[in-house]
Amino acid sequence: MDTKKLGFNSKLIHAGHFKDEFLSATVPIYQTSTFSFKSAKHGADCFSGEDDGYIYTRIGNPTINALEQNIAELENGFGGIGTASGMGAVTTIYIALLKQGDHIVSSDAVYGPARVAMETIFAGYGVESTYVNTSNIEEVKAAIRPNTKVIYVETPANPTIGITDLKAVSKIAKENDCIFVVDNTFCSPYLQKPLDLGADISFHSLTKFINGHADIVGGMIVCKEEKLYKQVRSAMVTMGPNMDPHQAFLVIRGVKTLAIRIDRAQENAMKIAKYLENHPKIAWIKYPGLKSHPQHELAKEQMSGFGTMISFGVKGGAEAGSKLMDNVHLATLAVSLGGVETLIQHPASMTHAKVSKENKIKAGITDDLVRYSAGIEDLEDLINDLKHALDKV
């Protein structure tokens, strides 16, 4: 069946899936490190590329491959590359695209370790980086240097929920011969398709929305074109941050309900955002679905829904925010996001703790910022949970 012609929900359930010799209804777990060859010649042909048989799980595996094809189809890309974690995807992209003397321009509000890896480990290998507010296109233009090879954007950004205009950045990338990379974790391909908006690579921490059940970590890189796909795949296979077949199996199960999970969670998020916006103890709130979000119109244009991530500050600053986090009982006080369960956390001291104070302030990661990932629990229970916690502040 040509799943490319199917609708999004049908693709979630069928794209990339194959029938094994027993015609099993779901993709089986091929929990093997290696695959046997029919003959010495067959083995040599597999290595030379004459034959597309499986060789070794770091290089390729049917269960992992099914997930890679599934996500690549959801993103309208050429191919997917599964990784052990979202950070495995980030560092594979850095390794594949940047060498000594190259320069990257990146969103200043990115997942903390993506910036820390660049400014510590990759800087040590001679890669230069500039972190700017990519929501302001002029800042992106001004940061480009003759040696800029990659523009890297996270939208909506973690944890500021700033939105970057992907079409506008794609134009800058093309004019300057740069590869344009988008971290699509906060949206998933259900809400945003960066490759359709001009990106060369869209990648994910699968740990979040795509798996959706807080029981694995994983990453996926999707490339728009074959040449880039081969370059990134070769880096992954050589360096070794590959996915595991069992992990792939769980994500294949999780992704099937991506759209219905997000539909419900973002309905909750919208109502919770409105509740918080009108609460007298809330100092400020950022949610793309609210008219008060500075890029609300852009979010409407490039996303097909506003997502489930909300950032806000409680009047009384960081101390008041801590009080709120200590007093929620239904929302779990934990990092991560995008699962069926509601999570709450404090980025400045948790996910972004290792980003320098100065860089945090510049990026808008203030001490009072509380990040909320709405889950699919009953709305009334979630609102009561917040009400109870805010009463304690």
From the list 108, 183, 244, 385, the catalytic residue is: 183
If one asks whether residue 129 binds ligand LCS (CB under 6 A), the answer comes out as: no
Q: CA 274 to CA 59: how far, in whole Å?
A: 48
Q: Which of 170, 207, 266, 342 binds ligand LCS (CB under 6 A)?
A: 207
Nearest distance from residue 183's CB to ligand LCS, in Å? 5
From the list 208, 264, 286, 371, the catalytic residue is: 208
Contact in structure between 317 and 368 (CB atoms under 8 Å): yes
Residues in the chain: 393
If one asks whether residue 86 binds ligand LCS (CB under 6 A), the answer comes out as: yes
- Written as six digits, the tokens of 209 are 């929305």
If one asks whether residue 183 binds ligand LCS (CB under 6 A), the answer comes out as: yes
- Specify whether 208 is catalytic: yes
Q: CA 136 to CA 295: how far, in whole Å?
A: 11
Residue (85 or 342) nearer to ligand LCS, CB = 85
- The two beta strands, 343-345 and 332-333, are parallel
Nearest distance from residue 370's CB to ligand LCS, in Å? 13
DSSP strands (E only) in 94-137 = 103-107, 128-132
Nearest distance from residue 159's CB to ligand LCS, in Å? 7
Residue (108 or 183) nearer to ligand LCS, CB = 183
Residues whose CB falls within 8 Å of the CB of residue 252, separated by 6 or more in sequence, listed in order = 17, 26, 27, 63, 66, 67, 70
- Of 84-92, 167-175, 194-202, 283-291, the window that binds ligand LCS (rule: CB under 6 A) is 84-92
Nearest distance from residue 108's CB to ligand LCS, in Å? 14
From the list 30, 94, 111, 372, the catalytic residue is: 111
Contact in structure between 94 and 118 (CB atoms under 8 Å): yes
If one asks whether residue 85 binds ligand LCS (CB under 6 A), the answer comes out as: yes
* 217-256 binders of ligand LCS (CB under 6 A): 217, 219
If one asks whether residue 337 binds ligand LCS (CB under 6 A), the answer comes out as: yes
Contact in structure between 152 and 181 (CB atoms under 8 Å): yes
DSSP strands (E only) in the chain = 79-83, 103-107, 128-132, 148-154, 179-183, 201-205, 219-223, 282-286, 309-314, 332-333, 343-345, 369-373
- Specify whether 381 is catalytic: no
- Specify whether 54 is catalytic: no
87 CB-side CA count, 13 A: 11
Kindly list the residues in this chain that would bind ligand LCS in the complex (CB under 6 A).
85-87, 111, 154, 158, 183, 185-186, 205, 207, 217, 219, 335-337, 351
